[in-house]
Structure formats: C-alpha cells, structure tokens
Amino acid sequence: MDGWRALDAAHARRADALTAVWRAARDRGEKHAIEDFLFTYYPTRASHLRRWHPGVGQVLPDAPDHAARRWYRTVALPDGTTGAVLDVSVFRADRGDTVRYVRSLVGATAGRPGTFGCFGLHEWAMVYRDADAGRDHRHPLPLRLGGAGTDAVVESHRVGCSHYDAFRFFTPEARDANQLRPTRERQVAMEQPGCLHANMDLYKWCQKLGPAVPGELLLDAFELARDIRYTDMAASPYDVSSYGVEAVEIETAAGKAEYVRRQRAFAERAQALRGRLLDVCDAVLAAG
C-alpha cells in the first residue's frame, strides 16, 4: 500500500486510537462524563472521524469512492486514467457563507492576545446554586466540594467568561456574576485564544468545512479538543477520580498555577491549528 491509500489507512488507525476510550464505553452501554461531550455537544460519529480527505486541490488517482462523495468530481489524468478532486466551486457555492464566517471568527481570535485568568470557572458557574434551586447537575458525578463549597468558590472569585457557548449554560444566579456579557452576535468580537472552549471549537469549525479540511488537521483539532476536555473536567467542580483523572484544584494557588500552565500550552497548540485552518479557508475562497 502506498500513496494516498497509505495516508487513508493511517488516518483511520489514528482516529480509532483517539476514540478508543469513548467507543469502549459506548459498547458497554455506559456514559462517559468526560468524552461524551465530544460526540454530543459536537455532534459527530466516530465513523466520520475515520473518513480521510486530502484537502483543497489534491487529486487522488483511481479513487472512485471519493469521486462518489458529495462535493467531489471526477477528473481525467494525463495517463488516461481518472482521479477524484474536491469541486471547490460547488463546495463554495454551497458552503461559502460558512467558510467566510469561520475565516472571520478564527482570524479575529488568532489576532488577539490570550486571557489566562478565568481558571475554568465557567463549569462552576453552570452548577452555581443548583442545590438551592433543586436542579440536577449537568453531569451524573458528585461535586468535589459539595454544593455549598462549590457556591463559595464562585462567590470568592471574579468570573470573566468571554465565550458565549459556555456563558449560555450558566445558571440564572451565576449570569449576573459574570463580568462580561458575551452574545452570539458579538462572538467574533469577543473570542480570545486563551479560552479553552474557543480552542475546543476549532474541531467544530473543521467539521463545518468538511472535505475541504485535510484529514490530519481534522484529527489534530479533535485530539486538542479531547485533551482540553480532560482538563476542563479536571478543573471543574465535579469529582472525576472515577475516571482516573486527578483534580486541578483551582480553588488553591497551586491549582490555579497548574490550570494556567495547561491553558497556555493549549493556546499555543490552538494558534498553530488556527493558522492551518485559515489556510484552508483562504484556499477555498481563492480557488477559481
């Protein structure tokens, strides 16, 4: 096996490795409070992650399966055989608005300095005063500090969440505590590269651009989202020890320092992915 077929097979193996924990839990009929998020909030299937695409402008010789996929077309090759290539004109006609939006959001985010003082309090704000109001938690896990202890952490910190898709899940009592007022309409203006959820969302934007995104970029974005998700839950108010995950105790000075260290490392990885995703957007928008 050589050429693009070797890349396709390697992609499938990597996808299987990245989803092995989640698939094993699914096959046992169990929920996975950490990894389910990657398949529910970001609605996708493990089978979709296994599907490799070469990206814009890459012709695959002898690839009838790709040629039959949406947005691909068959092209004649100099040796008299045929190949498959993404039909960028058709893709842009169908998804041009999405490409332009992703380009504006990702570009604006990449151009801003990161903010590294939120300490993951968005997860705490999502359960703030739940016990008082008789509400169920978002995840079937115990709170590490209990209800009163969780509320005390929120009340003793400045909450400054800039990400709308986290803020919209805050409890009503926590929304007024947030120092910022993110909205969907202001997302392009407010997104910043230190935000864990903005960095996880790079996986979502890769999904939105479908076959225009090379397979390696898709899996790199998924791997980053998975890694961030584990830290997001480790730093949350939930007790995740049942998953073998050690808590990042953001209510302590040492926990805050560890959170910021990870946050900066994730931001660095995410900025590199943003550059690659912007290249994809520009290639789609520039193709004749």
pLDDT in tens, 183-199: 999 999 999 999 999 99
Residue 281 pLDDT:
97
Contact between 274 and 102 (Cβ < 8 Å): no
The pLDDT, as a whole number, for residue 133 is 65
Under 8 Å between Cβ of 143 and 173: no
| Runs of H (alpha helix) within 111-250 | 121-125, 130-133, 146-155, 164-167, 172-175, 187-190, 196-208, 215-234
Q: Which two tokens stand for residue 70?
A: 């949406």
* Residue 35 in tokens: 């990894």
- 163 band by pLDDT with thresholds 50, 70 and 90: very high
109: nearest Cα among 191, 27, 216: 191
Q: pLDDT confidence of 1, banded at 50, 70, 90?
A: very low
Q: Which position has the token pair 């089978």? A: 47
Residue 10 reports pLDDT greater than 90: yes
Q: What is the pLDDT of residue 75?
A: 95
Residue 237 is predicted with a pLDDT of 97
pLDDT of residue 258: 98
Measured from the Cβ of residue 44, the count of other Cβ atoms closer than 10 Å reads 15
**Average of pLDDT values for 208-229?**
98
Residue 132 has pLDDT above 90, yes or no: no
Q: What do you get for the CA distance between the two ends of the chain, in Å?
A: 33
* Average pLDDT, integer, range 252-273: 98
**For residues 216-242, average pLDDT:** 97
**Core vs surface per residue 265-279: b (16+ CB within 10 A) or e:** ebbebbeebbebbee
pLDDT digits (tens, 9 = 90+) for 80-96: 999 999 999 999 999 99
What is the distance between the alpha carbons of residues 56 and 284, in angstroms, rounded to a whole number? 7
Which stretch of DSSP H or E encloses residue 271?
Answer: helix 253-286
Average pLDDT taken over every residue of the chain: 94
**E strands present in 46-155:** 60-61, 72-76, 82-86
Residue 179 burial (CB count, 10 A): 9
| DSSP 8-state class, residue 138 | S
Cα–Cα distance, 213 to 44 (Å, whole number): 15
Nearest alpha carbon to residue 150 among 54, 30, 251: 251
The answer on pLDDT for 17 being more than 90 is yes
- pTM of structure: 0.95
